[in-house]
């Protein structure tokens, strides 16, 4: 299994290829806020571990293994964003919160998060009941 750092690169490469049709070292560096030399080192490692094929000055492509993992990583990220939005986390906090937790959850936990999101989305009254609990807890926290 890839390390959390490797996952970040694979996810970003997958997103870039989906959006633009290609992923360049400079684009990856910009999106991850790292130096291009760091990207080159990681890309070489990902090539060695068969997540992608990298040819210097020619670009890179994900292998079937890399695509599969990239797709799962994007799904994980989007699902966690969806959950945090659903439970009422402020929009400005969602991205950073997801970045902070996504590597610390097992795939079993991710599957259960998917079940929870589905549970709430299947019946709007469930979301409204959650909002009512949140309103009550805010009133308690604010006090008299």
Is 77 labelled as part of a ligand binding site?
Answer: yes
Q: Are residues 84 and 135 in the same domain?
A: yes
Q: Are residues 16 and 55 in the same domain?
A: yes
Instruction: Mark residue 7 as left, alpha or beta (left: phi above 0; alpha: psi -120 to 50; beta: remaining).
Output: alpha
Is 35 labelled as part of a ligand binding site?
Answer: no
Q: Are residues 26 and 10 in the same domain?
A: yes
* Number of neighbouring beta carbons within 10 Å of residue 53: 15
pLDDT of residue 106: 93
Q: Which residue has the tokens 């009550």?
A: 136
* Number of neighbouring beta carbons within 10 Å of residue 88: 10
pLDDT of residue 97: 96
pLDDT of residue 122: 96
Q: Are residues 60 and 79 in the same domain?
A: no
Is 138 labelled as part of a ligand binding site?
Answer: no
pLDDT of residue 143: 65
Is 132 labelled as part of a ligand binding site?
Answer: no
Q: Are residues 118 and 96 in the same domain?
A: yes
Where do the H-state alpha helices sit in 1-144?
Answer: 4-20, 25-32, 36-48, 64-86, 91-101, 107-121, 124-142
Domain boundary among 67, 100, 118: 67
Is 104 labelled as part of a ligand binding site?
Answer: no
Range of the domain at 122: 74-140
Q: Return the closest-CA partner of residue 130 out of 140, 120, 116.
A: 120
Is 103 labelled as part of a ligand binding site?
Answer: yes
Number of separate domains in the chain: 2
Domain holding 110: CATH number? Answer: 1.10.60.10
Q: Are residues 107 and 79 in the same domain?
A: yes
Render each residue's pLDDT in the chain as its tens digit; 144 residues: 899 999 999 999 999 999 999 999 999 999 999 999 999 999 999 999 999 999 877 789 999 999 999 999 999 999 999 999 999 999 999 999 999 999 999 999 999 999 999 999 999 999 999 999 999 998 787 766
pLDDT of residue 55: 82
């Amino acid at each position: 299994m890839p390390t959390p750092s490797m996952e970040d690169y694979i996810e970003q490469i997958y997103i870039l290829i989906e959006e633009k049709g290609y992923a360049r070292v400079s684009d990856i560096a910009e999106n991850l806020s790292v130096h291009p030399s760091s990207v080159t080192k990681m890309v070489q490692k990902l090539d060695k571990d068969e997540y992608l094929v990298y040819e210097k000055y020619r670009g890179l492509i994900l292998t079937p293994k890399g695509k599969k993992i990239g797709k799962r990583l994007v799904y994980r990220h989007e699902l966690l964003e969806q959950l945090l939005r659903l439970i009422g986390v402020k929009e400005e906090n969602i991205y950073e919160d997801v970045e902070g937790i996504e590597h610390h959850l097992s795939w079993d936990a991710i599957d259960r998060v998917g079940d929870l999101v589905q549970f709430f989305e299947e019946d709007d009254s469930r979301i409204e009941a959650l909002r009512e609990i949140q309103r009550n807890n805010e009133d308690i926290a604010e006090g008299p």
